[in-house]
Amino acid sequence: MNLSDTIDLSTLPFYQWDSVLSANPQSSGFAGIEMIDSVFCKHPEMEIISRPSMFEGHSLAVEHSQMVPRENPASPAWIFVILLLLAGLLTMYYRNHKLTFGGIISSLFNLRTMNRMLRSNNILRTSQFALIPAVATGCIAMFAHQVAMESTGIVGFLLLWVGLFVGYYLRFGLMRLLAIIFENENGVSLYITSSYLFHLLLSTLLIPLLLLLIYLPWGTITLEYIMIGVVALEILLRVLRGFQLFLTNSNSSRFFLFYYLCVVEIAPILVLIKWIIE
């Protein structure tokens, strides 16, 4: 094809010369290239909206490029030793006095059954109940330690245990003082004996629950609520039983019952809760 055979475009009528692409893209800004670049390249006036990736929350840092399964920390060895000690003391008490779980439950709600059990099982003096407060306060201290004081270690547990043990006998001493003031020694003596048996029953229930709570982490929350329910039920039944003993075995006045309920039952619980929370 010769150059003479080409058509002179300038001779064509109504031809739009602006639509002709320049042969020199550098000088004229090749329109086709500019159009393509405007699609795939960032425009200087275009606002870029960056959105977080849906996988960003699951990304791993470079130094932790491999997922490591989470491990439940093992309980310290001293916790197992304390639980073994509490279980041993409780078993020894049952064996020495030939007590049965069913007999304790029956004696809690029948005064004659309680007196017959105390005589037949050779539990006639208050000193023979001394082991029960040690076990009961140890169980409560261990439960409180696992729930709210785990970071304090064995020192915090022992301080709490000693504090509860001392408070246990201070509470009974205060009750005996009120009994002397209001001349209600018979009813208070029966209530203190009944309280020892309630705490023996509570310790029997709490020790296996503590073992499950500490060594079966999959049931932690459920077991905590169960143990709180057991303690609350024991307190309620013991208070109701105390009212019954006071009203049927002594000349208790309402003023004495008010002092007993506020000073002996409610105040120690509030102090213990405040101590654990703080």
Question: Does the residue 9 lie in any domain?
Answer: no
Question: Does the residue 29 lie in any domain?
Answer: no
Question: Does the residue 114 lie in any domain?
Answer: yes
Q: Which of 99, 143, 132 is nearest to 117 (CA)?
A: 99
- Tell me the pTM: 0.67
Question: Does the residue 51 lie in any domain?
Answer: no
Q: Report pLDDT for 23.
A: 47
Question: Does the residue 258 lie in any domain?
Answer: yes
Average pLDDT, the chain: 75
Domain ranges, residue 110: 77-277
Burial class from Cβ neighbours inside 10 Å (0-12, 13-18, 19+) for residue 138 reads buried
- How many domains does the chain fold into? 1
Question: Does the residue 123 lie in any domain?
Answer: yes
Contact 205, 230 (CB under 8 A): yes
Q: What would the pLDDT profile of 228-274 be if each residue is shown by its tens digit?
A: 999 999 988 988 888 788 777 666 566 666 767 777 777 777 776 77
Question: Does the residue 101 lie in any domain?
Answer: yes
What is the CA 52 to chain-centroid distance, rounded? 36
Q: What would the pLDDT profile of 133-182 be if each residue is shown by its tens digit?
A: 999 999 999 999 988 888 888 999 999 999 999 988 888 888 888 778 77
Question: Does the residue 89 lie in any domain?
Answer: yes
